[in-house]
Amino acid sequence: MFQQLEEKIWFWLLLIIPVVVIFFLLLQLWKRKAQNKFADKTMLKRLTPNKSVFKPALKLTVLSLAFACITLALVNPKIGTKLETVKREGVDIVFAVDVSKSMLAEDIAPNRIDKSKQLVAKIINNLESDRIGIIAYAGKAFPQLPITTDYASAKLFLQGMNTDMLSSQGTAIDQAIQLARTYYNDEDQTNRVLIIISDGEDHNNSAADTAKEAAEEGIKIFTIGVGDIKGGPIPIRRNGVISNYKKDTKGETVITRLNEETLKNIASEANGNYINGANTTNVVETIKDILSKLDKKEFEAKQFAEFKDQFQWFLALGIFFLAIDIFLLERKTVWLSRLNLFNENL
C-alpha cells in the first residue's frame, strides 16, 4: 500500500513536544529545590504521602502521544487502495551530472554544482510523462537513479548529490556516456536522450568518440555548460567558510574555466545541441521545445488511482489518550502503590 501525506506543514507542530518536555523537566527541578528548602525528605513524605514521582511523567507522556496523534490527523495520511496500470507516452531521459571538485567554483551563482542541480530540478518539473534516470560522474561514473517515472524520488536523489560522493576525482565524460548506454533497455526505442550537465573539463579527451558510438545506438546527447569562460578558483571550505583555494603543484591558485568547445563537440557527434546554462529559464524552455519535437514511446506504468483518508484513526487515538489523561491522577494509585512497581515506597 502506498501512503500519501496531504498537509505536511502540520508536522512543524511536533516541535512543540520537546519544548514542553524541557519545560516540564525544568519545572520539576525547580519544585524539588523549593521543597528541599522547605523541609527534608522524611518530612515531605509525611506531609504528602500520596505524592507520586512517576505519575507526572506518565501524564506528560500520555499528553505528548495525544498531541502527536492529533498532529498526524491534521497531516491526514492517505493510503492508496486501487492500483491501476496506465499507458503513458514519453522519452527516456538520462541526466549525467558532473560532481567533480571543479564544480565548486562560484563563477556562476551559487556555484556550479548547485546550479546544475537547480537546472535538472527545473527540467524535471516541466516533464509530464517521460521516464528519467540520473548518473553522477567525476573520475568515474556512478548510477544514481535508474530509469523511473517517480519524479519525487529523482529530485530527492538529486538533492543528495555533492562533490564528495565520488572519491575518484577528475572529469570522465566518456564514462558517463558509457554508463548511460546501459540505462536504455528497449532496443526498438527511437528516441533516447542523454543530458550532460558539466563545466566541460574532460580529462580523458575521448568523450566525443564515445558520443559518436552512442549516437549509432539512437542516443541523442544534449550538453549544458555551467560556469564562465573566464573561469574561477575552486574554494576549499572549513565549517562552511572559505579557508583557501585549490592550488597546483607550483603553489599557484587553480583557475577552472567553462570549456564550451568540448561540450559542443560531444553534442554535435550525437545529433544534439549545446546549451549555455547561465539562464535557467532559457535552458528549461529549450529542453522543453526539443522534447516536444521528439517521437514519444508508449509504455505502461502502474500508479495508485484512489486514496482513502486515514486521519480518523489518529484523531480517535488522540482522543483516547486525552481521555486517559483526564482520569490519570498525579497522586499514587492505591492498588498500584501496594505493588510498589516503581520503588516509590522506599
User: What SS3 state is found at 132?
Assistant: strand
User: Which pLDDT value is given to residue 332?
Assistant: 54
What pLDDT, in 10s, does the model give residues 228-261?
999 999 998 888 788 899 998 888 999 999 999 9
Is 335 a residue whose pLDDT tops 50? no
Q: Percent of the chain having pLDDT more than 70?
A: 81
Q: How confident is the model at residue 334 (pLDDT cuts 50, 70, 90)?
A: very low
pTM, entire model: 0.65
What pLDDT, in 10s, does the model give residues 99-119?
999 999 999 999 999 999 999
What pLDDT, in 10s, does the model give residues 260-281?
999 999 999 999 999 999 999 9
User: Which pLDDT value is given to residue 187?
Assistant: 62
Is 2 a residue whose pLDDT tops 50? no
The rounded radius of gyration (Å) of the Cα atoms in the chain is: 30
pLDDT mean across residues, the chain:
84
CB proximity list for 23: less than 8 A, separation 6 or greater: none
Domain with CATH 3.40.50.410 in the chain: 86-301
Is 3 a residue whose pLDDT tops 80? no
Is 133 a residue whose pLDDT tops 60? yes
What one-letter code names the amino acid at 283?
Answer: V
Q: Percent of the chain having pLDDT more than 90?
A: 46
Dihedral sign of CA atoms 320, 323, 328, 333 in order:
negative
Q: What is the mean pLDDT of residues 13-17?
A: 90
In angstroms, rounded to a whole number, what is the distance separating the alpha carbons of residues 84 and 285? Answer: 32
CB proximity list for 335: less than 8 A, separation 6 or greater: none
Q: Which three cell numbers stand for residue 119?
A: 537546472
In angstroms, rounded to a whole number, what is the distance separating the alpha carbons of residues 3 and 18? Answer: 26
Q: Which residue has 529545590 as its cell numbers?
A: 33
Is 83 a residue whose pLDDT tops 80? no
Per-residue DSSP letters for 180-191? Answer: HHTT---TT-S-
User: Which pLDDT value is given to residue 34?
Assistant: 74
φ and ψ at residue 69, rounded to 5 degrees: -65, -40
Q: Which three cell numbers stand for residue 115?
A: 546550479
Is 344 a residue whose pLDDT tops 60? no
Is 130 a residue whose pLDDT tops 50? yes
Q: What is the mean pLDDT of residues 282-298?
A: 89
In angstroms, rounded to a whole number, what is the distance separating the alpha carbons of residues 113 and 103? Answer: 5
What pLDDT, in 10s, does the model give residues 143-195?
999 988 889 889 999 999 999 888 777 778 999 999 999 998 766 566 799 99
- Nearest one of 229, 195, 242 to 108, comparing CA atoms: 229
User: Which pLDDT value is given to residue 336?
Assistant: 47
In angstroms, rounded to a whole number, what is the distance separating the alpha carbons of residues 264 and 208? Answer: 9
Max avg pLDDT among 202-211, 311-320, 327-336: 311-320
* CB neighbours of residue 214 within 10 Å: 24
CB proximity list for 32: less than 8 A, separation 6 or greater: none
In angstroms, rounded to a whole number, what is the distance separating the alpha carbons of residues 346 and 336? Answer: 14
Strands 274-276 and 219-225: parallel
Q: Tell me which of 3.40.50.410, 3.40.50.300, 3.40.1170.20, 3.30.390.50 is the CATH number of domain 86-301.
A: 3.40.50.410
What one-letter code names the amino acid at 325?
Answer: D
User: What SS3 state is found at 302?
Assistant: strand
Q: Which three cell numbers stand for residue 16?
A: 512543540
Is 92 a residue whose pLDDT tops 50? yes
165-203: buried (b, 16+ CB within 10 Å) or exposed (e) per residue? ebeeebbbbbbbbbbbeebbeeeebebbbbbbbbbbbbe
What one-letter code names the amino acid at 321?
Answer: F
Is 221 a residue whose pLDDT tops 50? yes
Q: Is the CB of residue 234 less than 8 Å from the CB of residue 254?
A: yes
Is 1 a residue whose pLDDT tops 50? no
Q: How confident is the model at residue 58 (pLDDT cuts 50, 70, 90)?
A: confident
